[in-house]
Amino acid sequence: MTDIMAQPSQAQAPVSQPFVSKWASRYRGATVEDLDPPAALSLTPSDTVSLALLSAFERDYTHLTIIDSSTRALLGYLSIPHLQALLDAGRVGPEDEVRTAMTRFRRRGAKYRVITMETPLEELEAFFEGCATGGQKQDFAVITDEGRRFVLGVATREDLEEFVKRRPA
């Protein structure tokens, strides 16, 4: 899933009310590209947990994408706060492979919302609020090219909030 990393929950009913952005007046036509997201940092399932932590801390990233080493297909992601909790609980070790802690994307039967650099910020906010995922709120989105071939970056709720704080009303 190289678009938005969320899969609709089949247990939740779809949101019946249209989404109304709380920050629409601040966006004024801005797109994901205006967030100036840093380039994605992708690891492979065979990379070590210690490499993942070091890479994330060096760049101050909270989420890393996991790709297939040969096809470069997006397989899932690694939440650094979750990884840290697994380490603290002793469920994974620094030399374990990332595959032991990553969250895999379900590819079959799931419809994904593609987020590109051209996606309006209102749509990104709606995604974070769960409008595209049956009400399941999302903390981050994987930004891809239109053809979903390349992971370009990751956008978080915090990125959107920072953009709004910097933008005059």
CATH number at residue 126: 3.10.580.10
pLDDT > 80? residue 11: no
Q: How many domains does the chain have?
A: 1
pLDDT band of residue 20 (cuts 50, 70, 90) is confident
- Distance CA(49)–CA(36), nearest Å, equals 28
For 55-114, what is each residue's pLDDT tens digit?
A: 999 999 999 999 999 988 889 999 999 999 999 999 999 999 999 999 998 766 566 788
Q: Per the domain annotation, does 2 fall within a domain?
A: no
In a domain, 5, yes or no: no
CA 36 – CA 34 distance, rounded (Å): 5
Write out the residue range of the structural domain in which residue 52 sits.
24-166
| Distances, alpha carbon 166 to alpha carbons 34, 97, 102, 105, 129, in Å | 12, 39, 33, 33, 21
Share of the chain above pLDDT 70, in %: 85
Spatial separation of the C-alpha atoms in residues 43 and 32, rounded to whole Å: 23
In angstroms and rounded to an integer, the radius of gyration of the C-alpha atoms of the chain is 16
At 33-63, the pLDDT tens digits run 999 998 889 999 999 999 999 999 999 999 9
* Residue 8, in any domain of the structure: no
* CA–CA separation, 151 and 154 (whole Å): 8
